[in-house]
Structure 1
Amino acid sequence: MAHETLIGLVSQYSPSGLEQKAAEWLTERMQSLGYSHSFIDGAGNAVGIMGDGPRQVVLLGHIDTVPGNIPVKVNEGVLFGRGAVDAKGPLACFTDAVSQLGEVEGWQFVVIGAVDEERNSCGARFAVTKYRPEFTVIGEPNHWNRVALGYKGVAWSEITVRRSQTHSAGILRTASEALVKTWLAVQEFAGKYNQDKPRVFDQILLTLRGLQSGEDDFWQWATLQLDTRLPPGISPEEWYTWLKEVCGDAEVERKGFAVPAHVCDKNTPLVRAFLSSIRAQGGTPAFVYKTGTADLNTVMPTWQCPALVYGPGDSTLDHTLDEQVSLEEYEQAVQVLVGALTKLSA
């Protein structure tokens, strides 16, 4: 059945932490498509390998999604379902394209459906130690005729203000009031940094993820959770140093895994192969730079090879109730990838 890989994979609901059934389904699908071998690795990633040549291309997608099971259906050539966009569409595209390409003498193509990308990227952190690709393609939705060359870095933190108990009619600030002042100071700092940077990709982007407060007999406290998207040129270490200075006596605690921004080189055989293949499919190629973060940021500091991000779908639908991908666009993306890998490995 046409689009069986895409529809089948999207039908396997797999929010982060519950990817096993989807990984089992995908590795079985890879086997049926003629992969040299497929397996589930030590992190739970679904892996398919085509060929055994010394020159390696890794196509790294992710098999997990955010929570929220959306009924899977096809209506007028459009597939609806959780992960249709982010990012089972790109992962299925990788799977089908490599199957169509088949074995190429001197090359090995590794398709990975990584777990946990929507949380701490445990799957990509495991995979980065297992492969040394000559070229890397990361699977994220950016439409069939575009390639993404940059993703912002990310640093999560928790900021806490503590104050001794005070009467509500007193003149001293409560912990909650002090935390608000701290948050405004962080916003002001980012605003000053951003004021001469018109491109959003080059700005510090702050997202307030949560607020909590509490007290006991002698103390009160207030905490906020902060998600910071970092532009090129600001490392997570530098950001945490600045944040502690801005926050004064507030406690700043790092959370999760911070990664720097990554920008791919435009002038590589990989990029040229994709641009040529998009044109061959009748498209006008374009570059995009994303304000989010992807497994690109996790693996490239180690792999340090030519890379780009590719996949069908509209990224504005990521994580929404309306995730959908056109089956026509999906097929266009598969053919672009087949053409690009054919040109790359010629």
Structure 2
Amino acid sequence: MSQTLLGLVSHYSPSRQERAACLWLTEHMRSLGYDRAFIDAAGNAVGVLGNGPRQVVLLGHIDTVPGELPVRVEDGVLYGRGAVDAKGPLACFTDAVARVGAVEGWQWVVIGAVDEERDSLGARFAAGQYHPDYAVIGEPNRWERVALGYKGSAGAHLTVRRRQVHSASGEQTACEAAVAAWLAVQAWVETFNIGKTRAFDKIMLSLQGMESGGDGLEQWARLKLGARLPPDLAPQEWYRRLVEIAAGAEIQEAGYAVPAWACEKNSALVRAFLSAIRAQGGAPSFVYKTGTADLNVVAPAWGCPALVYGPGDSALDHTPDECVSLAEFEKAVAVLAAAFQGIAEKG
């Protein structure tokens, strides 16, 4: 069994508590023969192998959602927080690069990014530090699949204010106005989605929180909205639409918004992965995800061929049942190693 996978999953590292896991990973990378391994200014664990002018960056994330789970191996399956999302893919990257080793003319950079489950601070830092020829992002999508797209994300606080009135006045309350604004936004989204068959092309709207209050002179109601955005709707356009739809409400951006991103399908990187999957006896396929990943952060900045790859069933993300098949993990390591060798050989 991979000591990288077991070691990473055994180091509980929810967002903002990743340092112990990063220290372990960098030390382990050195033991695997990496030329350099260090923790960067953002707290990311970074391993570098090779010193050629051409560079491949493999960006996984080392943080997890909260909720520590017992780590155990049972019937060829590793259970534990992060086994799927996304220490499995990160461990694959680490082991595959060690297996390939130094290749003349190339440099492999493996990054265990911090804070992906919150604000992607690690990926935002890395985006300005590297200029790779190819990029692979680590997320679970099964070993036979390559993910080529992730939806954008934009959070917002919608606040309505009304003057304080007697409950018998018949005037609209702030809470009633907030509900009306929510229904208007919901109706607009439903109209936008008409005729779109793929979930990747639709807006996915969610109401994530609500609160209200007052000071005796003014009453207010606030809704926390989340939206997963398709490629043809940028976050700033979404915010502009919210202002129009919820006329009179205050719209405040919440968190870091990122646009959707779809990778080039016919690239040397994609072809190398398809060939490597077939060589392992798999039938490769593509997937476009309804979630958001660090791909959305780094791909626009790096502007190079990219894709998302990693073992594991993403349906287990963030659940108490996180686990990954050790056989699938080994298949994924073999695919990654063969893909990197293929890229290096073809230049």
Same fold (TM over 0.5): yes
Displacement, 1:309?
0.1
- Once residues 100 and 229 of structure 1 are traced to their aligned partners in structure 2, the CA distance between those partners, rounded to angstroms, is 37
Corresponding residue number in structure 2 for 1:17 = 16
- Once residues 319 and 164 of structure 2 are traced to their aligned partners in structure 1, the CA distance between those partners, rounded to angstroms, is 42
Corresponding residue number in structure 2 for 1:342 = 341
Corresponding residue number in structure 2 for 1:41 = 40
- Once residues 99 and 70 of structure 1 are traced to their aligned partners in structure 2, the CA distance between those partners, rounded to angstroms, is 28
Corresponding residue number in structure 1 for 2:307 = 308
Report SS of the residue matched to 1:345: helix
- Once residues 31 and 225 of structure 2 are traced to their aligned partners in structure 1, the CA distance between those partners, rounded to angstroms, is 45
Corresponding residue number in structure 2 for 1:107 = 106
- Once residues 154 and 59 of structure 1 are traced to their aligned partners in structure 2, the CA distance between those partners, rounded to angstroms, is 23
- The letter for the 2-side match of 1:236 is P
- The letter for the 1-side match of 2:221 is A
- Once residues 109 and 87 of structure 1 are traced to their aligned partners in structure 2, the CA distance between those partners, rounded to angstroms, is 19
Q: Does 1:70 align with 2:75?
A: no
Displacement, 1:208?
1.1
Question: What are the Cα deviations for residues 212-267 of structure 1, in whole angstroms up to 9, with x where unaligned?
Answer: 11111111111111111110111111111111101100100001111111000111
Q: 1:319-334 alignment to 2 at 5 Å? A: 319-334=318-333
- Which structure 2 segments of 5+ residues have no match? none
- The letter for the 2-side match of 1:9 is L
- The letter for the 2-side match of 1:164 is R
> What count of residue pairs does the alignment treat as equivalent?
345
Displacement, 1:198?
1.2
Question: What are the Cα deviations for residues 176-209 of structure 1, in whole angstroms up to 9, with x where unaligned?
Answer: 1110110010100000000110111000111111
- Once residues 22 and 72 of structure 1 are traced to their aligned partners in structure 2, the CA distance between those partners, rounded to angstroms, is 15
Superposed CA RMSD in Å reads 0.7
- Once residues 18 and 211 of structure 2 are traced to their aligned partners in structure 1, the CA distance between those partners, rounded to angstroms, is 31
- Which structure 1 segments of 5+ residues have no match? none
- The letter for the 1-side match of 2:233 is I
- Once residues 137 and 165 of structure 2 are traced to their aligned partners in structure 1, the CA distance between those partners, rounded to angstroms, is 53
Corresponding residue number in structure 2 for 1:61 = 60
Displacement, 1:54?
0.2
- Once residues 7 and 161 of structure 1 are traced to their aligned partners in structure 2, the CA distance between those partners, rounded to angstroms, is 50
Q: Which stretch of structure 1 is more off in the superposition, 103-112 or 230-239?
A: 230-239
- Once residues 13 and 172 of structure 1 are traced to their aligned partners in structure 2, the CA distance between those partners, rounded to angstroms, is 52
Corresponding residue number in structure 2 for 1:131 = 130
- Once residues 100 and 168 of structure 2 are traced to their aligned partners in structure 1, the CA distance between those partners, rounded to angstroms, is 73
Corresponding residue number in structure 2 for 1:175 = 174
- Once residues 216 and 260 of structure 2 are traced to their aligned partners in structure 1, the CA distance between those partners, rounded to angstroms, is 44
- The letter for the 1-side match of 2:252 is E
- Once residues 291 and 96 of structure 2 are traced to their aligned partners in structure 1, the CA distance between those partners, rounded to angstroms, is 26
- Once residues 139 and 5 of structure 2 are traced to their aligned partners in structure 1, the CA distance between those partners, rounded to angstroms, is 14
Corresponding residue number in structure 2 for 1:272 = 271
- Once residues 33 and 206 of structure 2 are traced to their aligned partners in structure 1, the CA distance between those partners, rounded to angstroms, is 45
Corresponding residue number in structure 1 for 2:188 = 189
Q: Percent identity?
A: 64
Report SS of the residue matched to 2:183: helix
Q: Does 1:217 align with 2:216?
A: yes
- Once residues 283 and 170 of structure 1 are traced to their aligned partners in structure 2, the CA distance between those partners, rounded to angstroms, is 68
Report SS of the residue matched to 2:330: helix
Corresponding residue number in structure 1 for 2:226 = 227
Displacement, 1:170?
2.3
Displacement, 1:300?
1.2
- The letter for the 2-side match of 1:101 is V
Corresponding residue number in structure 2 for 1:92 = 91
Report SS of the residue matched to 2:99: helix
Q: Which stretch of structure 1 is more off in the superposition, 170-179 or 331-340?
A: 170-179
- The letter for the 2-side match of 1:199 is R
Question: What are the Cα deviations for residues 82-124 of structure 1, in whole angstroms up to 9, with x where unaligned?
Answer: 1111100000000000000100000000000000111111001
Displacement, 1:169?
2.3
TM-score by length of 1: 0.99
- Once residues 321 and 185 of structure 1 are traced to their aligned partners in structure 2, the CA distance between those partners, rounded to angstroms, is 36
- The letter for the 2-side match of 1:181 is A
Give 4+ residue runs of structure 1 displaced > 2 Å after superposition: none
Corresponding residue number in structure 2 for 1:248 = 247
Question: What are the Cα deviations for residues 118-176 of structure 1, in whole angstroms up to 9, with x where unaligned?
Answer: 11110011111111000000000000000000000111111011111122222111111
TM-score by length of 2: 0.98
Displacement, 1:59?
0.2
- Once residues 300 and 157 of structure 2 are traced to their aligned partners in structure 1, the CA distance between those partners, rounded to angstroms, is 26
- The letter for the 2-side match of 1:191 is E
- The letter for the 2-side match of 1:138 is I
Q: Which stretch of structure 1 is more off in the superposition, 175-184 or 160-169?
A: 160-169
- Once residues 291 and 75 of structure 1 are traced to their aligned partners in structure 2, the CA distance between those partners, rounded to angstroms, is 31
Corresponding residue number in structure 2 for 1:198 = 197
- Once residues 314 and 168 of structure 2 are traced to their aligned partners in structure 1, the CA distance between those partners, rounded to angstroms, is 49
